[in-house]
Amino acid sequence: MNSRIIRTVTVTATYAALAAGRTAFTGEIGCPPANAGVVNFLGDDGADVAWIASEWHHFKDVDLSLFQIKGTVGDKVTINGTGGG
């Protein structure tokens, strides 16, 4: 059975994972419009991928623990979807 995943992650100045351990996920990851700056996601090539306020993307069957973010301290990333088996 899939479980609902709804959470807000607070951005820090250094990279941090969106989940502490392996977390299967399908749904939206986004940056709320109230964010003061960009949120940098660590790309697969090691480069920053900047997301602006109000940007969101849909993901299917990914592991949230593999997403690393940093940016303006106190900004948020929202996660809304389902996970599990």
Q: Max CA-CA distance within the chain? A: 37
Q: Note the CATH number of domain 3-83.
A: 2.60.120.10
- pTM score: 0.91
Percent of the chain's residues with pLDDT above 90: 95
Output the pLDDT for position 2: 76
| Cα four-point dihedral sign 50, 48, 19, 58 | positive
